[in-house]
């Protein structure tokens, strides 16, 4: 189970919706750490023992793509699973994000069922199944 989850989105409403979807998907007991942009999320990831990062793509200061690159480039955070949430429907961008190390790219609006399915697949991965 994911115990500490970072939610990065410049919209407070989107962060609230993401948190609620995660709670409905079975993560009511998780600690949620919120970031308004990629720079904040990166600092939180470096300082916390987060188990999961859910990030928007379009944010000020540091976008989700840059955040993903920095998370995967750092030995401290390289194993942190990242879910990217985007309003863009762009197969080329999705392929790029997956190649950069995102576990999944989800389209907005997200739903508890989609989140639960993706996290179930993530838990089946050997490196994350012991969380």
- All structural domains of the chain, each given as residue ranges with its CATH number in brackets, are 4-123 (3.40.50.2300)
pTM for the model: 0.93
Cβ atoms 62, 55 nearer than 8 A: no
User: Cα(65)–Cα(70) distance, rounded to whole angstroms?
Assistant: 9
User: Cα(98)–Cα(3) distance, rounded to whole angstroms?
Assistant: 24
Report pLDDT digits (tens) over 94-124.
999 999 999 999 998 899 999 999 999 998 8
Helices (H), the chain: 12-24, 38-47, 64-73, 91-100, 112-123
């Amino acid at each position: 189970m994911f115990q500490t989850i970072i939610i990065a989105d410049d919209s407070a409403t989107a962060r609230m919706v993401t948190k609620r979807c995660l709670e409905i998907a079975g993560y009511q007991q998780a600690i949620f750490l919120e970031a308004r942009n990629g720079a904040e999320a990166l600092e939180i990831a470096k300082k916390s023992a987060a188990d999961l990062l859910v990030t928007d793509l379009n944010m000020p200061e540091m976008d989700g793509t840059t955040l993903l690159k920095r998370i995967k480039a750092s030995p401290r955070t390289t194993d942190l699973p990242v879910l990217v949430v985007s309003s863009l429907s762009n197969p080329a961008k999705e392929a790029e994000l997956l190649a950069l190390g995102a576990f999944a790219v989800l389209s907005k609006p997200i739903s508890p069922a989609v989140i639960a399915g993706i996290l179930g697949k993530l838990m089946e991965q050997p490196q994350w199944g012991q969380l």
